[in-house]
Amino acid sequence: MIEEGKMSDRIARVLSLGIKRKIVTIGNQIRSSDNIEEKIDLMSKQNSALAALILTGISVGGEGLLSKGQILSSLFSEEFGDRKPQA
């Protein structure tokens, strides 16, 4: 029986590894950037990915209140998108 909104352990592990890879990649970009504005933008993206990782852990335990779609959407949506601030 499949429960809507509850993620299997196997899916959670695969998703968690992918999200972790994204967090580490963005961290490397932050360290290599010399531009402060770019660093801040990358840190915002990294925080969003970290939130997705946390949500993945929450969705596995208990009643599985979060769907996979909600977790994935937190990876790719931000309030401000990818637009650059105007100088």
Which residues in 4-18 are b (16+ Cβ under 10 Å) and which e?
Answer: eebbeeeebeebbeb
What is the predicted pLDDT for the residue at 86?
Answer: 47
pLDDT over threshold 80, residue 8: no
In angstroms, the Cα distances linking 10 to 13, 15, 18, 56, 74 are: 5, 9, 13, 12, 20
Q: pLDDT at position 62, please? A: 56
pLDDT digits (tens, 9 = 90+) for 11-70: 888 888 999 999 999 999 999 999 999 999 999 999 999 998 888 877 776 555 555 555
